[in-house]
Structure formats: structure tokens, C-alpha cells
Chains A and B, each alone.
With several copies, the nearest count.
Chain A
Amino acid sequence: MTSPTPLHFHVPEPASRPGGKPDFSGVSIPKAGSVRRPPVDVLPEEIRDLAYSIIRVLNHEGRAIGPWVPDLSQDELVAGLRHMMTLRTFDARMQMAQRQGKTSFYMQHTGEEAVSCAFRIALGPDDMNFPTYRQAGLLIAHDYPLVDMMCQIYSNEHDPLKGRQLPVMYSSKKHGFFSISGNLATQFVQAVGWAMASAIKRNHRIAAAWIGDGSTAESDFHAALVFASTYKAPVVLNVVNNQWAISTFQGIARGGSGTFAARGLGFGIPALRVDGNDYLATYAVAKWAIERARLNLGPTLIEYVTYRAGAHSTSDDPSAYRPKHESEEWPLGDPVIRLKQHLIAAGAWSEERHKQTEAEILATVIAAQKEAEAFGTLHSGGKPSARDIFEDVYAELPPHLRRQRQQIGV
């Protein structure tokens, strides 16, 4: 072979960095209503193109168009809007509480509220989510008490998790919300196992797995796809592509694949890509995948195209690695504003009602916060006991833990 030029090492780079102009010209966005809606029993190989497109329902004027328009009543949409607004207000208050030293850590959802709020509505009451730390909408849209969430965040005496977990790592079996792990991706495959169990027991319950764009690089993502594909597990595999993984842009995890939805293709798993900032589209796609699972047609992979408008967490400052105003240039807009506009365009909502609702929600959240803070915050007031360190390691306290507990005299 003739001696070619030497190899060189390729490292993907984002379109722009701090100081540069935000640039989303690489994100190609189909028109709302333009992507077809196949029947749920379609063969995966017939919809490979959907992994490279984006299903959208709301157009620029806020009208819902095309085959994916879901059958949601205006009341249901208003409820959805309220869920998203509640989540955003909740985030703002908890972010502030962290800054005030009332807890150690917080993670916001800003810009991604539609994904978890809409999905929860599409899911049945007995189904189970295996969420990451950025899906609190699954709780809020399912009426989990805000106070309980806050008590968890404050690690106070009413914390359902007894102070053991980092803030936002909620757990509620009753609300179909699996205990969040701090380890990325590990639960993606557990969701598949849960779904397999439901099928083994000939039940009707399905599971929903959740993962971020960056975390798809983890091995457990692969294991989940292998097992879901092989056993046709009744599971919806959700990838939330919010463009960033802490400081790392999505191109590092995605490599040359074009999209994250494409990852499903190699497994014969139908893969859809959806505008994650479009509440209606998100709901419709979720519904489609959930129905597939429920009808025993197997797993579906969904990539939600969205944008992490805030910092990764309270420990992070994105201005160090991306242009300051990048989020404003994000071409899919803000999910709250888009649904609001839709409802206004449909005559079911108004600026006043919106403002009024904002105020109402703020009052509700503040009231919850007061209630929660009465049970203590991380560094003051009521606390879980030191005894709780030793409980629940096992169902029963073994002798060595009894000895250790005695050592600190609790």
C-alpha cells in the first residue's frame, strides 16, 4: 500500500465556546406536522428515518398540526401547563434555598419541563419510571406532595429518605418513581428488568427508563438495549438530549451517529426523535411508545431534543464552557411559553390567567416551602437521627452494625 499521510486524532468540538456566537445551524429542524405517524405495530425497519428526524406538533404560531396532534383536552393542556410552571417555580425556590445554605445541592430542569411532565400524563398509574435527577416533573405531574420533595431536599426530620440521599434523589414507589441513583445509567437496565418481570408475571404494567445524552455512553445503556431487544421487554427507553453533559457537548457522546435515537437502530428497536420542548409532541410520542409496550410489541427508544437552559447543578457555572446567551438562541424555544402560546391561540388561556396562575403557583410553592422548613433544613431545625445511618442497610440489623451503632450511643 502506498504510504498515506500520517493519521491524526479527531476530537469533536461544539459549534461555539464562551466568547463566541451561539450557533445551532447544525441542528436541522423539520416543520411541525411534517413527520408521518406510523401505526404502533409498524416494523422497526420501516421507520428507520424517524430516528433522524424530529416529530413536532406546535408550529411557530402555536398551532397544533399534523398526524401527531394528541387527543388532549384543553383542560388537560392547562393542567400540563400548570405542572410545568410548578416545576419551574419549584426549581427557582429550591435553587435559592441552596444558595441560602438551606441545603447542599440542587439540580434544575429549566428548559426541559415538558419532557417529564408530558410523559407522566401519558403513563398509567401502575407503571414505573426509572428516572434520572432531571425528571421531577414525573412527580409533580403525578401530584406527589411538594412538601415531601422539599423535605428530601432539606434532609430534614420529615425527609422520606431519612437524610441519606443527596438532594433531588427522590424515591416513591407509590408514585411510580424508582429511587434515583447518583450513578449514571445504572437504572436504565433495571427498568428493562422491571419490564421483563411484568411480562414474566403476565401483568399489564410497563416501565419507563430515563437517561441523559451524555450518559448513553455508559455501558448499562448497551446492556439495556440488548436485553430489551432480545426479550422484547415492555419498556420505553427515554433519552433526554439536552445538548450538554456538564461541560461536555453532546457530540462527544454521540460521535458520528447523527442522533441518539439512531442507537436503537442497531438493535431493531423502533426509535423516534421528538421536539422535547413541545408538550403536545412529547405527549403524543410517549403515548405511542407506551401503547406499543402495553400491546406487547416491545421496546421503543425516544430521543427528546431539548436544551439544558440552566447550569448542570448548583456546583456548576456554564459560562465557563458555552456562550453566555446560547440558551436564548436554542431554536426549539421554551416549553412553557410554547404551550402557553398554544393555549392562548386556541382561546383557552390568556396573559392574565397566566400571570394569575404564576402568582398562585408561587404562593403554593412558598407555602409548601414554609411547611417543609418547619421540619428543618440541612443545617438547622429537625434532623433525621444518627440511628438512621444504621437502619435499612439490611432488613434486620446484623450484629456488627448493632455494635457500631452502640459505639456512637444511638
Chain B
Amino acid sequence: MPSYRRICVGSASRSEFDAMPRMTMIEAIRSALDVSMARNDDVVVYGEDVGFFGGVFRCTQGLQQKYGVSRCFDAPISECGIVGTAIGMAAYGLRPCVELQFADYMYPAYDQIVSEAARLRYRSAGDFTCPLVIRMPTGGGIFGGQTHSQSPEALFTHVAGLKTVVPSNPYDAKGLLIAAIEDPDPVIFLEPKRLYNGPFDGHHDRPVTAWAKHELSEVPEGHYTTPLGKAVTRRAGEAVTILAYGTMVHVALAAVEETGVDAEVIDLRTLLPLDLETIAASVAKTGRCIVLHEATLTSGFGAELTALVQEHCFYHLEAPVMRVTGWDTPYPHAQEWDYFPGPSRLGQALRDIVETR
């Protein structure tokens, strides 16, 4: 596996990395919130169980104690109310960063997100704006069944006015979250919960690795941003391009190692705006492309990626773009590992695609 750091983009200066603390994804997210709240009084954090307790995944632990109940507090169980009030706060001039307990529970807030947050700047011609971040844990692999496993990113990328971000590691999670909070527009920040405590490559039957052993768990304590809209190449390769984000980046790297296929692995990091340049350059080079995600296939974000790749790289393509994704069914509880597009399913696709000509 090549060095992750080597090709990772960020604005923290080199020297900061010396003797840097190791953080899990949870700690990195918490640190991003902490840094943001410390720098800017307008940043407020709330959501279900987010205050005293610090969130069911503990991403906000200690923030109420540090910044007081006016800056970090428990919300009633109303995703609609959480996002609706946050839009009002953002319009007031605050920088709310709210948590929805699971992405599966974002639907009650969907109207506020789509009809309101996403369109406020547009419909008021810039008179009002909505600098709002909505964090939510996504993805499966924790035996959470159909209501603790969803990956609804495509429901956000279809909506003009939203930005959608999915980090794959602690370093990016912190940099991207700070960038999201500082962004002037609403950002959907999807946190692959299977990565919270360790890089997960889809091998559920092996012991979990800790983030501490992973290079990208070296996270500066202070402020830095990872720019929205920039992908990063996690592994350079010649045979095929894999487009992935979140958990699937690790699955991709695992499958590449296991199959020995010389694939280029691109971690998209931001789905919208998309770094089409990096994608197109890679596919132009490799001539083959696999799109990987955990969400259901039909109308998933993979459809958009596939469409873009064939639009922009048609004459380079030596095989159809393949999609390796979750099935078009709800996420089942017991059959979770038959549903999850893990390294073996991707491995098969890799072998298939390099043989196609």
C-alpha cells in the first residue's frame, strides 16, 4: 500500500505534523467542532443527545461542559425542528453545526434541507444565506438493520444548493468539517460510522484495526482545513480507476492489494462539487473505471459518476464503467455481509474489468 500522506491534500503546514497526536475519526470530528467553537462564537452545536451526554457516538463529548449550554445543547427528537431552527439561526448570522443521530433519520428534515436550506440564497438573491452544517452518521456494517445503515448521499447530490462531503479518515474528517463550518453555504457532512473507531476494509471477520496504526490518524490539534471539492488519489495505478468515498476507500485499497490489480484509487471526499478533473485525468489514463458505494444501486451517486465518466472519457474507455454497490433493497440485519459491497465483490469486479477488452 502506498503512503496515504504522500498524496493527501491539506493546508496544515509540514511542521505541525511533527509529533502529532493520533485521533480516531470521532476524536477528529470532536476536535474540529472544538476548534471551530473556540475560534468563532457563532458556531453552535446541537442535536439529539448531543449536549450533556455528548452524542450517541460521543462526537460532541465535553463541548457543553466547555462552551456552555447556549453553545451546545440537547434538542427535542425532531429532525425537522433541528434543521428548521438551524436555518433560522444561520439566517440570523450564526454558524450552526447540527447532528442528526443517524442518516436514516434525516427524512423528517428533508423538506427543510431541500426546500429551505438549499434554496435560501437563491430565492432571496443573496439577501439571506444559510451557512449550516448537518452532520450525520451513514453506512452499515454495524448490524444496525435498515434504520441504522443507510447511505442517502444521492438524495443530497440531486439537490442544487447543497454541498455533500464524505470523509474517509480522521485527518480529512477534521479538515473537511472545519472547511464545511466555514463554508458560506449549507453542507451535508456524512460520517461513515463504520470508520468511527478504525479503518474498516470490509473484512468483518478479521479483528478491527485501530486508527492509531493508520497514517491518516495523525491529526494536528489546531486549525486547518481540507478544501471542499478536491478529491485525492489514495493509490496510483494504471489498470483501472476506482472511484470511492468514505468506508469504500478502505474496501477499495483492500481489494486492490488482494487482487494485485494495479488500480488507481480515488477518494472523492466531496461529492458535490465534484472534482471531475481528477477523475477524468485518471480514467483517461487507465481506460477503465469502477464506481463503488454502499447505497442502493439504482439512482445512487454511482449512476452520476458513471454518467460523467462516460460523458467525459468516452473515447478512453475500454470497458463499460462498472458499479459495485449495495443491492436495491432495504439494508437487511442478518444478511448484512451479503448486502455490503466488500472486497470480494469488488475483487471480482476488478478481475472482470481488467480482462474486458
Contact = CB atoms under 8 A, between A and B. Distances in A.
A and B touch in the complex (CB under 8 A): yes
Interface of A: 8-9, 11, 13, 17, 104-105, 128, 130, 155, 159-167, 169, 171-173, 178-179, 181-187, 189-201, 207, 214-215, 217-220, 222-224, 226-227, 230, 245-248, 252-253, 255, 315-316, 320-321, 378, 383-386, 388-390, 392-395, 398-401, 404, 408
Interface in B129-166: 129, 143-148, 160-161, 163
A164 B123 contact: yes
Interface string B84-116: 111111011110000000001101100110011
B127 A200 contact: no
7 contacts: A11-B51, A179-B127, A181-B119, A192-B84, A197-B94, A218-B79, A246-B56
Question: Among B49, B85, B87, B277, which residue has the most Cβ atoms of chain A within 10 A?
Answer: B85
A261 to B, nearest CB: 17
A103 B74 CA distance: 30
A189 B185 contact: no
B120 interface: yes
For B330, B333, B339, which residue has the most chain A Cβ atoms within 10 angstroms?
Answer: B333
B125 A194 contact: no
A182 B44 CA distance: 28
B101 to A, nearest CB: 9
A253 B82 CA distance: 12
A189 B328 contact: no
B3 interface: no
Given A181-B147, A200-B94, A389-B327, A224 B81 contact: yes
A91 to B, nearest CB: 20
A388 B332 contact: yes
Contact of B125 (A196, A390, A392): A392
Given A104-B143, A183-B115, A404-B327, A219 B125 contact: no
A161 B297 CA distance: 24
Contacts of B17: none
Interface of B: 44, 48-49, 51-53, 56, 69-71, 73-81, 84-89, 91-94, 104-105, 107-108, 111-112, 115-116, 119-129, 143-148, 160-161, 163, 184-185, 229, 272-274, 276-277, 297-298, 327-330, 332-335, 338-339
Given A171-B128, A315-B56, A389-B332, A400 B123 contact: no
Nearest to A247: B53
A104 to B, nearest CB: 4
Given A193-B88, A200-B71, A393 B328 contact: yes
B287 to A, nearest CB: 23
Contact of A393 (B71, B78, B160): B160
Sort A-B residue pairs by CB-CB distance and give the 5 closest, nearest first. Answer: A193-B88, A182-B147, A193-B85, A163-B334, A166-B145
A201 B42 CA distance: 8
A226 B81 contact: yes
Contacts of A184: 77, 105
B234 to A, nearest CB: 22
Contacts of A222: 78
B116 A181 contact: yes
A236 B333 CA distance: 32
B123 A189 contact: no
Contact of B85 (A164, A166, A189): A189
B335 A163 contact: yes
A128 B51 CA distance: 28
Given A197-B92, A218-B77, A393 B116 contact: no
A394 B163 CA distance: 9
B48 A179 contact: no
A220 B80 contact: yes
Given A171-B124, A223-B81, A389-B339, A192 B88 contact: yes
B84 A200 contact: no
Contact of B88 (A169, A196, A316, A393): A196
Given A182-B147, A189-B84, A400-B298, A223 B78 contact: yes
B276 A399 contact: yes
A395 B78 contact: no
Given A9-B70, A230-B76, A179 B161 contact: no
A197 B229 CA distance: 30
Given A182-B145, A394-B121, A253 B51 contact: no
